[in-house]
């Protein structure tokens, strides 16, 4: 199966260092959060048939790949990221036949499908875990089991093997009465961590992955994959365990230390990823694998995504989406363009010679960027800031990811009460920080949830202005699992589909540029100004490697990422002054306002609020 809507990057254009260039080097990925995308049966939860019914919309947008958040069988403690059977579809989303039909219909449109894969942990209802609860089982060592501390009563505070806390609140250890021991869970207590030190665990995972690849999917996005390797001492003890030779860090304000430094980008991660590639992917073609990478910095990204090292094609790094958070995720720090530029610069420069970057601001775990860093207080500013952040991400070097509704400029939920949230992380964090540890006021925590809570990205897709935004029938007896954003009346796909000035149309242009411009897809990236508090500017340059010479292609991207007018930095002005005829309307490749306005803005040296411009140099 070949993707139909992209030109092929010629071999004289360098991408990630592989030869020939990988098919995904000028592709665009669209993430679907199935429970919020399209409900086909009126039960309030999106499903596979609903996704299939919207494939023409996805094809019109022009993307090459859809990434499905988990649709496997699950108790849904963490909305499907707690998997109880990797080789079954949860009835909430449909059947395996529905999945096969979706694959067939997507492939017929030239769209590839990758599935979310969660193998750092399973559900506690998975058969593997249930067997592991028996210490005499052959799966007894498939999870991280530990006895209570000597002299402490099992199950009571202080008896845990070490003082690690879960990222979702409370202890990272849960006592199991049946086994008489604790198991480790970095996330929910219903998400026990798999023990990847055990070769049998790894083989079972690879067998399952091969089963899906044989069924016809095109690859995986692997959830928190860089947390599968843990730091242990020579005797296999975790930091802080009794007898361990590795000290834990001190407990924080909530009374726990964090497993993060010891469970992210651990000592065997390269070994495990190489083994996975060898056992699942090396014998195949046309696939794509991307890993969510907690704890991985830009330099490590270069190594892991270098094709010579045979690990992963791409990684999701998170330094740039943590710039507005303090010591805790729930500490609000004011958005600063300089901090964003610093992080994206590090990511771009690390893969200058080899490796590849994933480009994103939004996903199912990250709030809507137009509310987080943009401006959704008026329709004009919402549309402009949505376009500006789209331009920022899509004009960098790497593979862009669009999260459902981002192409419409969907906003945060603006919830004001805790009972409006459904996200386990948000609810647990409120209870832990406000009610148990008492380290944050209810008012500031609600403010943080409104900005960072994951449900901001999970409200139903806004297809039209009807009662439930077209996510489900307006006369359905039930209601959506999560409230529809009231602004769907104004912000929806139907209103934007044929509007030449809409955010949707702007995103179609960005996708088309990625497909048909080798300069956009793979040109070198260079920062123009590194200190301006409002303007983010960079160039893209493409020099062919065929030895025929000629002038390189070059473009300038300049963005005012603020709601105020901004003066062009001197470095940008100097670049533009080299042009013999100044900046003309026909030189403007793309603008968040219009070409006439942007040509005048560059000539006058001042950008309007959220004005972004691509100009050919």
Catalytic machinery residues = 223, 292
Q: How long, in residues, is the chain? A: 617
Closest of 2, 39, 67 to residue 399, by C-alpha: 67
Closest of 185, 150, 182 to residue 165, by C-alpha: 185
Task: Name the one residue in this structure whose structure tokens are 């987080």.
Answer: 372
144, 228 Cβ separation under 8 angstroms: no
DSSP character string of 44-85: SS--HHHHHHTHHHHHHHT-SEEEEPP-EE---TTTTSS-SE
614, 520 Cβ separation under 8 angstroms: no
463, 38 Cβ separation under 8 angstroms: yes
Peptide bond into 20 cis (omega under 30): yes
**Strand 566-567 with 314-316, pairing:** unpaired
Closest of 70, 165, 53, 168 to residue 126, by C-alpha: 70
DSSP single-letter state for residue 281: I
Helices (H), 172-326: 199-215, 260-263, 269-276, 298-305
Helices (H), 137-267: 199-215, 260-263
User: How far is 179 from 159, CA to CA, in rounded Å?
Assistant: 15
How many CA atoms are closer than 13 Å to the CA of 168, on its beta-carbon side? 19
**What is residue 200's three-state secondary structure?**
helix
Closest of 413, 407, 409 to residue 455, by C-alpha: 413
User: How far is 182 from 185, CA to CA, in rounded Å?
Assistant: 10
Adjacent-strand bridge partners of 314 = 290
**Strand 219-223 with 181-184, pairing:** unpaired
Secondary structure, 3-state, 473-542? CCCCCCCCCCCCCHHHHCCCHHHHCCCCCCHHHHHHHHHHHHHHCHHHHHCEEEECCCCCCCEEEEEEEE
Closest of 529, 521, 616 to residue 576, by C-alpha: 616
613, 557 Cβ separation under 8 angstroms: yes
Closest of 561, 611, 556 to residue 589, by C-alpha: 556
Closest of 312, 314, 316, 336 to residue 324, by C-alpha: 336
């Amino acid at each position: 199966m070949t993707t139909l809507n992209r030109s092929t990057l010629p071999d004289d254009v360098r991408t990630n260092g592989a030869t020939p260039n990988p098919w995904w080097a000028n592709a665009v990925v669209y993430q679907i959060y199935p429970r919020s995308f399209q409900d086909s049966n009126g039960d309030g939860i999106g499903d596979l048939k609903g996704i299939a019914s919207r494939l023409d919309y996805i094809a019109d947008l022009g993307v090459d790949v859809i990434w499905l958040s988990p649709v496997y069988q699950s108790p849904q403690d963490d909305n499907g990221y707690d998997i109880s059977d990797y080789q079954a579809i949860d009835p909430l989303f449909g059947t395996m036949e529905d999945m096969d039909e979706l694959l067939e219909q997507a492939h017929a449109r030239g769209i590839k499908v990758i599935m979310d894969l969660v193998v750092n942990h399973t559900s506690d209802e998975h058969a593997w875990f249930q067997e592991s609860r028996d210490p005499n089982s052959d799966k007894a060592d498939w999870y991280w089991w530990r006895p209570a501390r000597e002299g402490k009563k099992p199950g009571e505070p202080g008896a845990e093997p070490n003082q690690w806390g879960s990222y979702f609140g409370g202890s990272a250890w849960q006592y199991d009465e049946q086994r008489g021991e604790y198991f480790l869970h970095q996330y929910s207590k219903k998400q026990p961590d798999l023990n990847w030190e055990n070769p049998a665990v790894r083989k079972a995972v690879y067998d399952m992955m091969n089963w899906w690849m044989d069924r016809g999917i095109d690859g995986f996005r692997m959830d928190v994959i860089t947390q599968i390797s843990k730091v242990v001492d020579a005797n296999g003890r975790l930091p802080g365990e009794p007898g361990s030779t590795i000290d834990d860090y001190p407990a924080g304000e909530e009374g726990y230390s964090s497993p993060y430094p010891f469970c992210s980008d651990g000592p065997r991660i390269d070994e495990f990823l190489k083994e996975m590639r060898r056992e699942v992917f090396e014998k195949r073609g046309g696939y794509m694998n991307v890993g969510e990478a907690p704890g991985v910095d830009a330099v490590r990204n270069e190594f892991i995504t270098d094709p010579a090292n045979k690990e992963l094609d791409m990684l999701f790094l998170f330094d740039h989406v943590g710039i507005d958070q303090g010591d805790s995720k729930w500490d609000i720090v004011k958005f600063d363009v300089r901090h964003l530029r610093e992080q994206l610069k590090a990511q771009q420069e690390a893969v200058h010679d080899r490796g590849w970057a994933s480009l994103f601001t939004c996903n199912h775990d990250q709030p809507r960027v137009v509310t987080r860093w943009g401006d959704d207080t008026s329709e004009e500013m919402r549309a402009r800031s949505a376009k500006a952040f789209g331009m920022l991400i899509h004009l960098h070097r790497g593979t862009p990811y669009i999260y459902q509704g981002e192409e419409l400029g969907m906003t945060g939920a603006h919830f004001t009460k805790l009972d409006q949230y459904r996200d386990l992380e948000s609810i647990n964090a409120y209870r832990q920080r406000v009610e148990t540890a008492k380290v944050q006021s209810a008012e500031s925590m609600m403010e943080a949830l409104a900005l960072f809570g994951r449900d901001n990205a999970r409200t139903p897709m806004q297809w039209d202005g009807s009662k439930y935004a077209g996510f489900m029938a307006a006369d359905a007896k039930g209601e959506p699992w999560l409230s529809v954003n009231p602004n769907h009346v104004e912000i929806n796909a139907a209103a934007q589909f044929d509007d030449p000035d809409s955010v949707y149309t702007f995103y179609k242009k960005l996708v088309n540029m990625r497909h048909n411009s080798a300069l956009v897809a793979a040109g070198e990236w260079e920062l123009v100004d590194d200190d301006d508090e409002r303007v983010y500017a960079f160039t893209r340059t493409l020099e062919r490697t065929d030895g025929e010479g000629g002038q390189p292609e070059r473009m300038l991207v300049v963005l005012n990422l603020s709601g105020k007018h901004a003066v062009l930095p001197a470095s940008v002005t100097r670049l533009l002054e080299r042009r013999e005829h100044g900046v003309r309307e026909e030189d403007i490749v793309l603008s968040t306002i219009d070409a006439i306005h942007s040509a005048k803005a560059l000539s006058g040296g001042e950008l309007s609020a959220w004005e972004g411009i691509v100009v050919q140099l």
